[in-house]
Every structure is written in structure tokens, then in C-alpha cells.
Structure 1
């Protein structure tokens, strides 16, 4: 699977399997807001892209448990990390940041520097 084809669920599944963990092993390491671990069924739904992580905290816990870059997981989950959201950017600032981001991607693509 090419990196651009990755989904949040497939990234979690691949990393979990690479560690040799069962669903229940990873599920025990990821806590819901009430501090209880998620269920293996909920994790299975996430891995098959039937559900999304319910919170940024959950994305961070997956990153920590699996040793995956948190920014990559936030990207795959379609979210912005809290340190970016905490900046309380205006609509104009977000637009400027995204234009700069796209320019950077375009430059990398034209140089053949993509992944």
C-alpha cells in the first residue's frame, strides 16, 4: 500500500500487527474519556475505517502506544494537532498557512522529493 493510500485505520492496524499485538493488547492501552480502555470491537471498527478516533487524546494515545508520529496520525484522521489549534488562528491565517503548505508540497513534487 503506497503512503498516499494509507488510512488512519490501516496505519493503526499495520503498526499493531508489526508489534505482534492482538486487538485486545492495543485496546487496553487506549483510554476513553472516562479513563476506561476502548473495547477490542471499537478498535476493530477503527482499523477497518468504520469508526474514527473519538478525540485528539485518543489519536495521541495511539501514536504513543504504537510509536507512530503523531502528526502523521492527525493527518490521517483529518485533524489538526492541538498545538496548532491552540494558536487560535484567524480564517486569514489558516488560509495563509495552507497556501504556504501547498507551495512547499508543490516544490517537493516538482523536485521529485515526494515520498
Structure 2
């Protein structure tokens, strides 16, 4: 399994995007674009992006933001602990995830 940083690098290259093109489209909470050194740190897994930056990266990289949250080892805000009402609901979600992964692995 790839790390978040490895995925960002690979996807950026697949799309033919230079680092400068990515940072021009992704803004920090202060409204300023992220820096090249910040992107390099993300790509080398030395920093963790905020939810806001993850969401924008997903748009620039043309992937579902859930992929980036998964690779970052985090849950999206709409799936926080307060949105899961019971242990059964949580278990059902993970079982559905496992079924889908197994289904896709079958030849």
C-alpha cells in the first residue's frame, strides 16, 4: 500500500502536473497558496495536511477525497465519531468495505 506522499507524487506525475501547478491551486486556511517546500514535505510524508488542504489536493489530483483521507489514516469530517451511532453501525461499515475489497480482488 502506498503512503499519502507516494500517492500524491504518482498521481501528480500521471496528470503531468508540476509541483508549481499544484501549489498554485491549493490554499492554506489563510488564503495563501501552499509552498513548494510544503508540497515536497507532503510528498515525502514529513508533514500532515489539514482537512482543507486534503480536500483541495483531491480536486487538483482529480481523485475522491476519501482516498486521500484513507491514505492519511484519517476520517473525513462527515464520518467523525459523532456520526456513528453504534458499534454495530461501525462494524457494518467496515464489513461492507472488506466485502468490496474482496470482490474487486477476485479474477
Compute the TM-score of the two structures, normalised by the length of structure 2. 0.80
Which runs of no fewer than 5 residues in structure 2 stay unpaired? Answer: none
* CA RMSD between the two structures: 2.5
Deviation at 1:105, TM superposition (A): 6.0
Listed one character per residue, the Cα deviations across residues 17-57 of structure 1 (whole Å, up to 9, x for unaligned) are: 2222221210111110111110000000100111111x111
Task: Answer whether contact 2:84 2:90 (CA < 8 A) is retained.
Answer: no
Deviates more, 1:95-104 or 1:44-53: 95-104
Q: Is the 8 A contact 2:20 2:36 kept in 1?
A: yes
- Poorly superposed stretches of 4+, deviation over 4 Å: none
Gaps of 5+ in 1: none
Structure 1-normalised TM-score? 0.75
Query: What residue in structure 1 maps to residue 72 of structure 2?
Result: 77
